[in-house]
Amino acid sequence: MNSYELTHDNAPRAKAPAVQRRWSLSTRAISVLTMLVILGAWWLVTAQALIEPLFLPPPSAVLEKAWLLMTKGYMDSTLWQHLGASLQRIGLALLFAVLTAIPVGIAIGHNRIARGIFDPLIEFYRPIPPLAYLPLIVIWCGIGEFSKVLLIYLAIFAPIAIATATGVRTVDQTKLRAAQSLGATRWQLIRHVILPSALPDILTGVRIGLGVGWSTLVAAELIAATSGLGFMVQSAAQFLVTDVVVLGILVIAVIAFAMEMGLRALQRRLVPWHGQSH
Amino acid sequence: MALLKLERISAQYPGAAEPVLADISLSLGPRQLLVALGPSGSGKTSLLNLIAGFVAPSAGEISLDGVAVKGPSAERGVVFQDDALLPWQDVLTNVAFGLQLAGVPRAQREAKAREMLALVDLAGFDQRQIWQLSGGQKQRVGLARALAADPRLLLMDEPFGALDAFTREQMQELLLQVWQRTAKPVFLITHDIEEAVFLATDLILLAPHPGHIAERLQLDFGRRYAAGESARAIKSDPRFIDTREHVLASVFSQRGVSREQHA
C-alpha cells in the first residue's frame, strides 16, 4: 500500500459518511415523498370538510368510484372500454405514423428533392394546434373513428419525421465513408449505418409524438366522441360527477406517464451505445 | 509492377482560391509501405481521400491495376483515425461487416472475422461492445475490419494519431507484423516524424501552399523490424536518428519557406 492510498483511506473516509448521511435521500425518494404529501393534503382537506365533495371528492370516494367504473361502468361502458377505445386510437395512429414518418424523415434527411417537397408541408402544419384543424377533418371525413385516428396520426407524424430527418442529417461522415470503402451500396448505407445512427433521434421523436398525440386525443374526445377517456371526463363534468372527472384525469396522467417510462426503457434497450462514448 | 498509380493529380475544393494538392505523381506496389508525412494543411488527408475515392481530383488520373478509380470501393480498404466503427454491433459483427455487405454467408464471414481478430491480437474479443474497448483496441478492430474485406491495398488515415505514446509504438509494431504477413501494400498518412521514418519503405514529405511532394526517401527500418530486429535497436541506430533529424529539418525548412511566402 503506498502513501497515496493511505491518505485516501484515512482522511476522506472519516468525513464521507457525515456528508453522505445528510444527502442520503435519493432524488427518486424525494419525488415519492412529494406525491405522498400531496395525497395526504388531499385527504386532509376533504376529511376535514374544508372543501365540498362537489369540488374535490375525497380520495376514498374516487377509489370507490374506480371500482364501480371497472365493474359496472359509466355511460354504458366500463372504465376498461373507455381506456381501450382511447388506447386503440392512439395505437393505430402511432403504428401508421411510425410506418410512414420514418421513411419520410429518412428521405428528407438524405435527399434534396424530398427535403424540398416535405419540409415546407411539415413546417406549415406542425405549429397549428391539431384541434384547430379537427373541424376541417370532421367536415371531410365525418365524426367516426377514422377522423380521430387521422387527427392523432397527423399530430404524431411531424415530430417523428423531423426527429428522423435530424438524426439522418447528423450521421457521422466517417462511418458513412467507412461503410462505402467496405463496398456498401446506397441501400446498405441506409439499412446498416443511417437507420441505426438515427435510432436514438427517432425514439426521441416517438416520445415527443406520443406525448403530443395523447393530449390531442384526449382533447379531441372531449369535443367529439361517444367513448374514450376524454369523453368519460367530459360527460361526467356535465352532470357534476366530480369523482369520475378526477378519476379520469388521474387515469389519463398514469397512461401518459407509463408511455413515457416505457419508451425510455425501450430507448435504453434498443440504443445502449447512445451516450456511452464516441 | 505498379499497383496504384497517381499521375499529375491536382485537387481543389469548390470556391477555394488555391488548390489543396498540385501535380502529385506517385505509385504504390507490392511489399511497399508508403507514408505521406506533412504538417496540417499540406493536403495529406486530401491525398488519402482522393485515393479512397471519397473526393474526385480536379486534374490527373488515379488508377488501380490500370483501372481508373471512381468512388469508394472494397478494393481500397480504409482505416480511420477514430469513430468509424459501428457502436450498435459487437466486435465480431463489425469486423465481418464488409463481408456481410458482400453477401457472404454468416458462418463463413464470422470464421474470417475471427481469423482477422487473431491477426491483430484480439482473439476472444468477439462479443465485446465497441464502447467497452480502449483506443488502441478500437484501432485494431478497425484494421481487422479493413483486412477482412480482403482489399487490394490498405489506406490508413492517421490511424494512431489519437493514441497515447506507448500504445502508438505497440500499434506501429503490430502494423508492420500484419503488413509482413498479409503482404498488402499500405498507404499511411501521419504527422508523426518518428512514426513515418520507422514504418515507411517509401516516404514522401508533403509541403503546403499548395500541397506538393517536397522530398522522396526510400527507407528500410520497417523492413528491418519485419525481418526480426527489435524496435528499440532500430530506433537507437545512428542511421535512424540521422534520417529522423534530416526529415525534421526538411519539414521545418518547408514551413519556413511557406511562412516567407505568406509574409
Task: Give this complex's ipTM.
Answer: 0.88
The confidence band for B29, taking pLDDT boundaries of 50, 70 and 90, is confident
Average pLDDT over residues B93-118: 91
| Of A274 and A100, more confident | A100
Break chain A into its structural domains and give their ranges: 3-50, 65-270
Task: Write the pLDDT tens digit of every residue in A120-136.
Answer: 999 898 888 888 888 89
| Of B38 and A13, more confident | B38
Residue A277, min C-alpha distance to chain B (Å): 6
Tally Cβ neighbours within 10 Å of residue A18.
8
Average pLDDT over residues A38-54: 89
Residue-level pLDDT at B165: 87
* Inter-chain CB proximity A273 and B145 less than 8 Å: no
Residue B145, min C-alpha distance to chain A (Å): 9
The confidence band for A15, taking pLDDT boundaries of 50, 70 and 90, is very low
The confidence band for B262, taking pLDDT boundaries of 50, 70 and 90, is very low
Contact B97/A at CB under 8 A:
yes
From chain B, pick out residues whose CB is under 8 angstroms from the CB of A185: 101
Contact B54/A at CB under 8 A:
yes
Residue-level pLDDT at A218: 85
The C-alpha atoms of residue B74 and residue B151 are separated, in whole angstroms, by: 6
Q: Which residue of A has its CA nearest to B131?
A: A277
Indicate if the pLDDT at residue A81 is higher than 70. Answer: yes
Which candidate from A188, A271, A278 shows the least CB-CB separation from B101? Answer: A188
Residue-level pLDDT at A20: 52
**Residue B147 neighbours by CB under 8 Å, 6+ apart:** B77, B116, B119, B154, B178, B182, B184
Residue numbers of A between 195 and 214 with CB closer than 8 Å to B: 196, 199
The C-alpha atoms of residue B125 and residue B31 are separated, in whole angstroms, by: 30
Indicate if the pLDDT at residue A4 is higher than 50. Answer: no
Residue (of A96, A204, A209, A212) closest to A149 by Cα position: A96
DSSP bridge pairs for B205: B37, B215
Residue-level pLDDT at B255: 59
Residue numbers of A between 48 and 107 with CB closer than 8 Å to B: none
Position B147: which residue type? L
Say whether the peptide bond before residue A53 is cis (omega within 30 degrees of 0): no
- What is the average pLDDT score of chain A? 86
Q: Is B68 helix (H, G, I), strand (E, B) or coil?
A: strand
Helix (H) or strand (E) segment spanning residue B98: helix B97-101
From chain A, pick out residues whose CB is under 8 angstroms from the CB of B72: 177, 180-181
The C-alpha atoms of residue B151 and residue B155 are separated, in whole angstroms, by: 10
**Residue A168 neighbours by CB under 8 Å, 6+ apart:** A105, A106, A108, A109, A110, A194, A197, A198
CATH topology of domain A65-270: MetI-like fold (1.10.3720)
Number of A–B residue contacts, CB under 8 Å: 74
Q: Which residue of A has its CA nearest to B93?
A: A192
The C-alpha atoms of residue A220 and residue A237 are separated, in whole angstroms, by: 16
CB of A239 within 8 A of CB of A50? no
CB of A48 within 8 A of CB of A56? no
Indicate if the pLDDT at residue A149 is higher than 50. Answer: yes
> Per-residue b/e over A215-233, b at no fewer than 16 CB within 10 Å?
bbbbbbbbebbebbbbbbb
CA B258 to chain CA mean position, Å? 26
Q: Which residue of B has its CA nearest to A178?
A: B84
Q: What is the pTM for the complete model shown? A: 0.80
The confidence band for B263, taking pLDDT boundaries of 50, 70 and 90, is very low
The C-alpha atoms of residue B172 and residue B159 are separated, in whole angstroms, by: 10
Three cell numbers, residue B70:
471512381
Tally Cβ neighbours within 10 Å of residue B36.
27
Task: Write the pLDDT tens digit of every residue in A161-189.
Answer: 999 999 999 999 999 999 999 988 989 99
Q: Which residue of A has its CA nearest to B143?
A: A178
Average pLDDT over residues B19-43: 87
The confidence band for A212, taking pLDDT boundaries of 50, 70 and 90, is very high
- What is the average pLDDT score of chain B? 86
